Amino acid sequence: MSKRIIISGGGTGGHIFPAIAIANALKAKDPQTEILFVGANGRMEMEKVPQAGYPIFGLDIAGINRSNLLANLSFPAKLTKSLWAARKVIRDFKPDAAVGVGGYASGPLLLMAGMNGVPYLIQEQNSYAGITNKFLAQNARKICVAYPDMQAFFPTEKVVITGNPVRSDIGSVSASDPKVWEYFKGLSPDIPTLLVIGGSQGARTINESIDAGLEQLLASGYQIIWQTGKLYIDKARQRVSALHSNRIWVSDFINQMPYAYAAASVVISRAGALSISELCLVGKPSIFVPLPTAAEDHQTKNAMALVREEAGLLVKDAEAREKLIPTTLELFKSKEVQQSMGRQIQQLAKPQAAQQIAEEVWKLSQ
């Protein structure tokens, strides 16, 4: 009989794409596996999951607003409603196992899964566990992690180091593929390329720092692939247009990340778990600018795990406007440092993460 699995969570690409990778790995094990996603209404997963070919049910849940406490007055009602909706989904779908990848919907779904006797697995992507996952760990059967020493947060006997799942097409393209340069029209395969990615939502500090340093980067002989997110794209396009340079490709979102990684000589990125896992897989020398408002400052901890291995550089968000461009130019100057960092970061890659997690889910569902 085919297995029925619920995968819950989302909110950002950093949660959604690993969840889809796990679903694909489960389907590869047995094409008859029935998978239902549970996400948060109004969030990115409600669009991206159906695009990947999976059904999704939305809960009316949102996170705690730390900057505006009055905005949390509706939180208890939303949580209660989500718990009841999660219970109904579990009773209707009758899953053999559940998976939580983080994000707003993960909490209510896994809580109700545990209360209804459904075994569940947590996939903790960061090097510092959040409050929700620490709470849910009490009843989890397995906790799949990406970093060592996570026993500080979770029971040792439940922890399995799998790495973070990434999209199967990451690392599948080389810089010599003509499709890469057709996509990034105007750029040349013969010029060193800076890839700037702020995550699926963009990153204001990174954008402003790049904006201020465009002339320096161009004068130094480099070309730029600049992913801005939706909030900065209009300003970036005006700026690029005024420079009259064909060495800057700018967009709010890159639909072909394998091409972007293939083209890149050096990468500037936030330090979300998904970005780091993808950069490990493609072995690119990277400068990380951690998001300072990330819960428990987990992005700084993610980046520091690489810095300690000489597998990346870190520029603090508060210092980015002053230090990001000089740090980038310094890295571009040294091919040796680029190659060394590329080798070091690639050693941390876990290309079989999705398959390993699928295997653990499979065991739970027996």
Contact 257, 167 (CB under 8 A): yes
42 is in an annotated binding site: no
14 is in an annotated binding site: yes
Extended strands (E) in the chain: 4-8, 34-40, 56-59, 97-100, 120-124, 142-145, 159-161, 193-197, 223-227, 248-251, 266-269, 286-288, 313-314
237 is in an annotated binding site: no
141 is in an annotated binding site: no
DSSP symbols for 171-239:
T---TT-HHHHHHTTT--TTS-EEEEE--TT--HHHHHHHHHHHHHHHHTT-EEEEE--TTTHHHHHHH
Buried b vs exposed e over 96-128: b needs ≥16 C-beta within 10 Å? bbbbbbbbbbbbbbbbbbbeeebbbbbbbbbbb
126 is in an annotated binding site: yes
116 is in an annotated binding site: no
12 is in an annotated binding site: yes
200 is in an annotated binding site: yes
* 74: alpha, beta or left? (left if phi > 0; alpha if psi -120 to 50): alpha
Write out the binding residues for UDP-N-acetyl-alpha-D-glucosamine.
12-14, 126, 167, 200, 254, 299
Write out the binding residues.
12-14, 126, 167, 200, 254, 299
